[in-house]
């Protein structure tokens, strides 16, 4: 009776799915009918209530406080924009004063006045428009910044989800391998008592079992750590996840994406990246601020008007009261020009110019970072897909080696130690392949995030267009 397993993409299968990365489609694993399947057992039906990667992203975006901060920045910028636009409208205010005078022994006097004042700015040599444009562009940058924040949060959640799925898959490999080799330890002990195996060989098998047990403990620890991290990001406990949603999210149409040249991918990224768009809008806002600061030194022409009611009550030396009331309405123009401000206007101009240089520097840095991310992600994705294909070939070779070793063991030409060694090699290849597959998924998420289409359901149509 055969006693070895034949595994295909161990951890991915154990997690509930297998992916043909080369074709970008899901396929079923095939198992040797006569092989033990304690590692790489057939996938169990998926739980419809398990957390998918799209749901994890949505929950993370709704729970992350950075969204509230970005929204607060947007609301603040919009309020500043409304305040800047108010200069186009009349400014109406009411005023009132009262005064008491006493110049004994001659008389006592009280005068009151109440009125309404109107001021309408007519012409400011472009200062008003520049200030309004700066505020509007800041509001636009803040609104785009919300999208950028969502993109960053989505990428962080997707990466955390992938790392949890990876950790669970590797844990499944370690657990299955540990279970198989523990049986080998029992067999080795039994043969040692029968003197059918050397003490050295039995000791080596026990050492290899201890190694697998250590790897299992490490894998379980990493799995729980990644579960905790993802749980914090989505702000709720996690019972189970559905790893199949990862390839379903990133693989459809991936061949068309990877067929893009690096220049084409960078061009698409620069036209869609919210972080770059926000940085470039901030440059335009800073330019408008510089213009407003320079125009602030020019005259301002305004329309002024007021209506006032005066009341004057006077009591003379003999106690007689004289009550005088009158009203006045005036309308006119005023021209104001700052002549000397102690350097305030000059300092405002220098501050605006410095902010413009800062915005330009940040935009250049964002553009460089974006281009680096797109080019490196595109190259890494292509290389990682090749790596997965090579590991698929390696898996086939080790599978044949395992089958032959098992056959020779049953014939007595191979030892139990030989069988354990090949088992470990097969488990290692499976782990390498799992890591390669999840590295591939990770770099695809990085690529979509850099291109600004991570949260777009129609991102493939968007990219190809």
Q: Where are the domains of the chain?
A: 10-89+124-299+337-464
Confidence category of residue 42, pLDDT binned at 50, 70, 90: very low
The predicted structure's pLDDT at residue 364: 96
364 to 84, 129, 328, 447: CA distances (angstroms): 29, 27, 60, 20
Which CATH architecture best describes the domain 10-89+124-299+337-464?
Answer: Up-down Bundle (1.20)
The answer to whether residues 115 and 306 touch, using CB atoms and an 8 Å cutoff, is: yes
**Distance from C-alpha of 220 to C-alpha of 218, rounded to nearest angstrom:** 5
pLDDT of 278 > 60? The answer is yes
Whole-number average pLDDT of the chain: 82
The answer to whether residues 113 and 309 touch, using CB atoms and an 8 Å cutoff, is: yes
**Distance from C-alpha of 132 to C-alpha of 392, rounded to nearest angstrom:** 61
User: Model's pTM, two decimal places?
Assistant: 0.78
**Distance from C-alpha of 155 to C-alpha of 193, rounded to nearest angstrom:** 57
Confidence category of residue 178, pLDDT binned at 50, 70, 90: confident
Q: What is the pLDDT of residues 393-430, one digit of tens each?
A: 898 888 888 888 888 888 888 888 888 888 888 888 98
Mean pLDDT of 309-335: 74
Mean pLDDT of 89-117: 73
pLDDT of 21 > 90? The answer is no
The answer to whether residues 11 and 172 touch, using CB atoms and an 8 Å cutoff, is: yes
Q: What is the pLDDT of residues 334-351, one digit of tens each?
A: 888 888 888 999 999 999
The predicted structure's pLDDT at residue 6: 40
Q: Which of 64-78, 170-184, 283-297, 352-366 has the lowest mean pLDDT?
A: 170-184
List the one residue out of 344, 430, 342 whose CA is nearest residue 14: 430
Per-residue exposure over 353-392, b if at least 16 CB sit within 10 Å of its own CB, e if not:
bebbeebbebbeebbeebbebbbebbebbeebbebbeebb
The predicted structure's pLDDT at residue 383: 92
């Amino acid at each position: 009776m055969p006693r070895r397993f034949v595994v295909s993409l161990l951890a991915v299968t154990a997690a509930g799915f297998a992916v043909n990365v080369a074709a970008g489609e899901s396929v079923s694993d095939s198992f040797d009918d006569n092989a033990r399947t304690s590692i790489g057992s057939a996938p169990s039906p998926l739980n419809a209530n398990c957390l998918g990667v799209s749901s994890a992203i949505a929950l993370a975006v709704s729970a992350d406080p950075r969204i509230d901060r970005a929204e607060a920045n947007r609301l603040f910028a919009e309020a500043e924009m409304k305040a800047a636009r108010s200069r186009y409208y009349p400014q109406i205010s009411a005023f009132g004063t009262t005064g008491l005078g006493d110049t004994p022994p001659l008389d006592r006097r009280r005068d009151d006045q109440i009125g309404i004042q109107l001021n309408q700015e007519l012409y400011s040599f472009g200062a008003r428009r520049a200030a309004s444009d700066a505020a509007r562009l800041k509001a636009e940058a803040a609104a785009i910044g919300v999208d950028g924040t969502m993109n960053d949060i989505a990428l962080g959640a997707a990466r955390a989800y992938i790392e949890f799925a990876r950790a669970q898959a590797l844990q499944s490999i370690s657990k299955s391998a540990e279970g198989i080799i523990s049986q080998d330890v029992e067999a080795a002990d039994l043969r040692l008592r029968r003197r059918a195996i050397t003490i050295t060989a039995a000791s080596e098998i026990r050492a290899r079992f201890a190694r697998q047990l250590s790897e299992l403990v490490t894998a379980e620890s990493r799995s729980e750590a990644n579960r905790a991290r993802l749980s914090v990001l989505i702000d709720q406990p996690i019972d189970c996840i559905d790893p199949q949603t990862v390839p379903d999210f990133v693989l459809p149409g991936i061949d068309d994406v990877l067929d893009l040249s690096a220049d084409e991918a960078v061009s698409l990224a620069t036209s869609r990246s919210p972080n770059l768009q926000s940085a470039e809008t901030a440059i335009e806002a800073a330019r408008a601020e510089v213009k407003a600061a320079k125009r602030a030194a020019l005259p301002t022409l305004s329309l002024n008007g007021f209506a006032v009611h005066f009341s004057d009550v006077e009591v003379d030396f003999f106690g007689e009261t004289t009550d005088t009331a009158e009203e006045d309405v005036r309308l006119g123009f005023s021209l104001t020009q700052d002549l000397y401000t102690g350097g305030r206007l000059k300092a405002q101009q220098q501050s605006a110019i410095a902010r413009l240089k800062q915005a330009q520097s940040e935009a250049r840095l964002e553009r460089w970072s974006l281009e680096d991310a797109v080019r490196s992600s595109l190259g890494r994705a292509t290389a990682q897909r090749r790596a997965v294909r090579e590991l698929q070939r390696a898996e086939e070779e080790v599978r044949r080696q395992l089958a032959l070793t098992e056959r020779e063991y049953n014939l007595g030409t191979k030892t139990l130690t030989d069988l354990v060694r090949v088992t470990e090699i097969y488990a290692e290849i499976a782990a390498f392949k799992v890591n390669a597959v999840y590295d591939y998924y990770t770099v695809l998420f990085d690529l979509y995030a850099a291109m600004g289409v991570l949260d777009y359901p129609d991102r493939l149509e968007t990219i190809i267009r």
